[in-house]
Amino acid sequence: MDSDHVRLSSLPPSSLRTHWDGSILYQTVGFLFDDGWRCVRTRRSRGSFFHPSLPPVEGQDRSLSPVGPHTHPRGGGVEGGDVRDTPPTERHTETGRGGSKGEEKEATTHGTWTEPSKPTSHKSGKRSSSAAEAIHGNDKVDMEGELTEHMHGKSRVRVARVWREPSGAQYICEWEVQAILLSAMEHAFLHGDNAGMTPTDTVKNTVYYVAKKMKQRCTAEEFAIEIAKHFVKEYPLVSQATVDVEQKPWKRMQVMGRPHNHGFTMGGTELRTAQAVFNNSGLVKLSAGVKDFMVLKTTQSGYVGYLIDKFTTLGETTERLLGTSITASWAYSTPPRDTEKAYKNALDSLIEVFYGNPATGIYSPSVQYTLHEMSQEALRRVPEMESITMRLPNIHFLPYNHEKSGVKFEDDVYIATSEPHGTIQATVTRRRARL
């Protein structure tokens, strides 16, 4: 007999198992052959069929797709159906051999086979319990869980905003936005009741609506605050909104020695970042930062004095290239009045400490030390900054030596790499004076 295709007339005793998870009915039809079980598993969306062991779904036509012991779950008979060599489930109702239709029978080699219990309505809030009953039958197993956290929103919403000045100069910002809402929507998770929910489609469209409202040029921080405030003030069930914004580095183009009125070019790899959290008590928490800011210097860096053991292949040096991709985020104790100035001061402090004096530079004994010095300078220059978290992957440039061909490394030829790389991260928080 073909193990993959059988005809209805040749089918041996069969069994049917159903599992209802609240929205989808899973069914397994199994057939017991001499050499083992063959079974067909399928899935159907709620409302397209019924099974006698399940309560009808609201609005369902019970005349659709009756399921019998020899009915292919995809519709029609099993004849020509695809019978797979997959093991049967642990519990189902056996029909045919030695029993009438619907009769429960214990199989000696496959454990106890029981009909799944009827699930309660999804409106009762017992969907998790019903699924456990369907799987475990009458076993007293505590499968209940508690909903302890939930949220919803929209991610990767891309928007470009152009401002056209009377002088003829134009400005553009391109943002990618994520908005996450905390709301009194437990009933959606527990009961499948969406009453009062702000759909994620609404979240997306709100981003464009708020962008339209920004009649004057604004920063990523100001845009994030306005979006967050809108959700909390507009929708009664929303208690808090967290909005993240990433801004691409479009720079005004220089053409014929002058800044072009409406011409722009991508200025680098870095993204300006901002996060605003607004809740129904009127509190605003604001942070800003930079992401994937590539920097490198070709000297004034070294690394010595570290632990060396049998696993260490790195050699000590006081002369090396130092390259990294800065990702930094700083939190404000209170939102600055001028978010553009605060951002510029923070970024300038990171740049100046990393590179040092344009003519002579500044020596870095390790990425760790340089990271800490950069953070301290940012805290000194931006009084509203409460803390700063920085991640600096050490992107390695390895000296190239090839003695066979007579090539000797003289701080000139390097093997550029991107991975594996070192990862150095730290948070520096402003120390408050003790009272």
Specify whether 404 is catalytic: no
* CA 383 to each of CA 33, 330, 331, 334: distance values in angstroms, whole numbers, following the listed order: 78, 12, 11, 10
What interhelical angle do 367-381 and 339-355 show, nearest 10?
Answer: 150
Burial profile 320-345: b = 16 or more Cβ within 10 angstroms, e = fewer: bbbbbbbbbbbbbeebbeebeebbeb
**Which CA distances in Å does 390 have to 81, 177, 294, 397, 434?**
59, 22, 14, 22, 26
Is 200 among the catalytic positions? yes
The one catalytic residue in 72, 92, 110, 154 is 154
User: Is 150 labeled as catalytic in the residue annotation?
Assistant: no
Residue among 122, 126, 285, 396 flagged as catalytic: 396
- Whole-number Å distance between alpha carbons of 131 and 120: 9
Burial level of 72, CB count in 10 A (0-12/13-18/19+)?
buried
Pick the catalytic residue: 42, 120, 200, 389? 200
Q: Are 226 and 336 in contact (CB under 8 A)?
A: no
| Two tokens, residue 316 | 């000590």
Distance CA 393, CA 227 (A): 32
Give the residue numbers annotated as catalytic, written as ranges.
Answer: 154, 200, 396
